[in-house]
Chain A
Amino acid sequence: MPGAKKIMVNEYQSTYSPNTPKIKKQMLSDIGVDSYKNLFSDIPEKYRFPELNLPAPTSELDLKNELSKIANKNSTPGDYSSFLGAGAYRHFIPSVVKQITSRSEFMTSYTPYQPEVSQGTLQAHFEFQSMVCELTDMEVANAGMYDGATSAAEAVLMACRVNKKLKVEIVGTVSPLYTDVITTLTQATGIEISYNNIETILQNNNDEAPACYVIQQPNFLGEISDPGQLKLLSNKNNALLIVISEPMFLSMYQTPSYYNADIVVAEGQPFGVSLAYGGPYAGLFACKKDYIRQLPGRIVGETIDSKNKKGYVLTLQTREQHIKRERATSNICTSVGLIALMSTVYMALQGKKGLKYLSELCYHKSHYAAAKINNLPGFELQTNNFFKEFAISCPIPVKEVNEYLHENKIIGGYDVSDFIKNGMLLAITEMNSKEEIDNLITLLSQVKTL
């Protein structure tokens, strides 16, 4: 056709872009340019259209075959019996959890900034906040943080804002995985972190009060602290008491409110979330209502609409970065909506009775195992008062013990030799059958002769 311009587009038709080269040419003609390249002319010419060194496109079939082989290089709990915990725990996940959270209405929706089209997510978040409040016995909870460790770090930052102080005391044996994150996230704030045991703090009356005390209950090695002593700690000067806990433990034991905790944080993963090599998980974050304006993260609140019907919205948003910018309580934006939903559905399914039953089951199994291991020559139980996780000392280095266990299809415990000589931290849940536990004990009894 005379006068018709030849319009240039990339002729490759990719999988997820619906517009064909022919359609794109028509669109470019409407836009009034004769090449897609003209749409990128704001980019400095010298740097425009660089070579991209990437592999060629792959079909779904080929990719699944290839990645399935790579996945199979890993030793997978299930194929192996696993006794590894130390902050991430293997618990049973009912089918309903995956089915519900795979629904595209939940999985492919955006952050609920537009409440009229997000009541599903908002109502589910409200259920989550409510159940976290019940679990922790606290007055308010947010809709979740990235993980337990960042929850702990945000709790520290919040306590420093509340008390307008920059001193933080970590009390007793708190997971190094958590203290590392607290250190990272506070490194530029002027916050000073010190480490002490509870006895020293309770005896010493001269020191300047910190913004907060941070304890882990049960602690990193599984030891449950005396609630009476924790009560004394919470009453000591005006420091806030931050408790890092674990949801299955909270289902069975006295809640941190008993010893007057101000902020309770926990890794939510044990409740309905796959191990997935460490994430995505969801951090639980709950506190007393006095600190509501200093909370980090998203919060859902109940309200009414213009026709007086009940509904839910993101609330207290004036704390958040998209409103307050440099004066926000946290920079958190995208958080963990879908993961929090997994825990919500999990708690709904297990309900009042199920959570009690499961936590007691973990207790029975771990105490059964611990007593047996303690009777093995060369092994000694190192945790006195525990729930589902405990430390033992082994007659030989943990690395060697674990290699032997791995040869026999067992993923052994976490190496805590930094804390206890040849120390191993073992977690036992409902996923570990008696047969698995007995097999572990048999193999451990052979270790001394390796």
Chain B
Amino acid sequence: MKNSNVRKLLMDRSIEGKVGATMPSIDVPLQTLPNKKFLRENLAMPEVSENEIVRYFSSISQMNFSIDHNFYPLGSCTMKYNPKLNDDIAGFPGFNEIHPLQNIDTIQGALEIMFDLQNILAEITGMSGTSLAPMAGAEAELAGMLMIRAYHRNREDFKRKKVIIPDSAHGTNPASAVMAGFEVISIPTDTNGNTDLEALKNVVDASTAGLMLTQPSTLGLFDTNILEVVKIINSNGGLIYGDGANLNAILGKVKPGEIGFDVVHSNLHKTFTQPHGGGGPGAGAIMVSDKLIDFLPDPIVTKDKIDKFDLSKPQKSIGKMGAFHGNFGALVRAYSYIRTLGKEGINNISEDAVINANYLRIKLKDTLDLPYDRICSHEVVFSAKTIKEKYGVNALDIAKRLIDYDIHPPTMYFPLTVEEALLVEPTETESKETLDEFIETVKTICEEAKTNPNLLHNAPHNTPNTRLNEALAARNPKLNWRNTIEEAN
């Protein structure tokens, strides 16, 4: 009864005449409205009362897993605890109510926070300059690649059309490189999980604009060939883009700028705890070396001799990434987080995250396959290959069965280079007790794979929906109340 009611959409709850909000009074004389032919006749929005709306959204929210309720060992996503004070601070009226186009003199406080955050992120990554303009990691990648393009063009080197990307990279890397006008050259990973140096040497030439590299990689491994990789690219005139998706693993342990990266971004919704919000908003700060500082996205915050802050457009800027100045609300949260932890706390993040991941690696290496048996970084990639061969249960089945134990599935089938991959990232905010429960749960599930594989094939069992038919959804898309699109192609 309850469950079927919760699935009833707002439009099906609508009854003519119900209202969900009170209306402010009209305190000016009524003006002549435009001719009716310019106005819309019907606005088919639902009519539902306030209490019903609150109950509806509260009820559907309970069909979600969330960090405040569940463990999310979701590789490369850094689903860590989101401190509550950050939300309160971002909600201060002086931050939350100000208009993006207010005169500079009236928003000095906002610019002060941004200026400080720019410097902190440059310090953490060992870079010379920061722009906070990109609104997510992928937008920062695009900004970074546009900067690399602009850098080469500014030197009147128009041949550099290719960007090298390891096959373990996030999908956003090749997609962003293409949006920045580059051709993507994919290179393999060697048997140790490092960049394959021979493959790299074979593809680098005068047409190489740069390399996009995630460090540590999405295999949860820090590339022991890193200095060699940097040398190969630099000696050919290319630049190095660092995808900071996994920055959590190296905070205070190494600064990408010092080992030769020219640009690196940070997903503030991963490393710096902007809540993930069911898929955003995020923020993608971008940090660069001296070479690229003039090309940063517009705006950056600058400070003059009398300590007045201003928004500035860098000399050869690639331009604006959004209508305004980036996702300020996310920037305030990141700033609040960094200031709370301070130097000592930031240093501890990577240490604790890496200890947690290695603890899982050691405790589960006899239960699942471990394709790269070496010390890992903040995440560890397992494989369900053997279990699949023996019992016909795959990574998806194991991941879905975890849901029955109130644990969010790890990242599955990624990186694409590992068969039956289960990429596990515990983050530093999980206790040993939680990890021990996870370990026991995985062991139990792998035991179930032997004794009762159907339990896994049909998992999850206790969720509002069992496994959903994705093929049907794509074949006849029903994307709103109004219509189903028959046989879209």
Contacts and interface: CB of A to CB of B under 8 A. Distances in A.
A274 B97 contact: yes
Given A116-B467, A119-B465, A292-B477, A54 B322 contact: no
Question: What 7 pairs across the A-B complex have the smallest Cβ distances?
Answer: A278-B324, A71-B94, A188-B181, A338-B277, A278-B100, A57-B342, A280-B281
A96 B58 CA distance: 11
A203 interface: no
A331 B137 CA distance: 10
A56 B466 contact: no
Contacts of A299: 477, 479
A63 B340 contact: yes
B171 A323 contact: yes
Interface stretch (B198-206, B221-229, B232-240, B285-293): B221-229
Interface in A310-331: 310-313, 315-318, 320-328, 330-331
B82 A331 contact: no
Given A119-B64, A278-B324, A363 B33 contact: yes
| Contact size range, A | 35 or more
Contacts of B399: 114
B83 A42 contact: no
Main secondary structure of the interface of B (DSSP, over half): loop
Given A52-B124, A134-B45, A325 B174 contact: yes
A310 to B, nearest CB: 6
A4 interface: no
Interface stretch (B346-354, B385-393, B447-455): B346-354
A31 B362 contact: yes
A116 B181 contact: no
A267 B251 CA distance: 36
B53 A345 contact: yes
Contacts of A143: 279
Interface residues of B, number: 205
Contact of B67 (A103, A108, A301, A337): A108
B33 to A, nearest CB: 7
A72 B68 contact: no
Contacts of B466: 116, 305-307, 309
Contact of A39 (B72, B330, B345, B375): B375
A352 B107 contact: no
Contacts of B381: none
Interface string A149-191: 1100000000000000000000000010110110111011110
Interface stretch (A81-89, A193-201, A205-213): A81-89
A62 B292 CA distance: 37
A277 B100 contact: yes
A411 B327 CA distance: 22
A88 B102 CA distance: 11
Nearest to A385: B34
Given A331-B179, A337-B277, A402-B103, A350 B282 contact: no
B261 to A, nearest CB: 11
A351 B45 contact: yes
A280 B135 contact: yes
B99 A118 contact: no
Given A96-B54, A114-B403, A339-B277, A84 B102 contact: yes
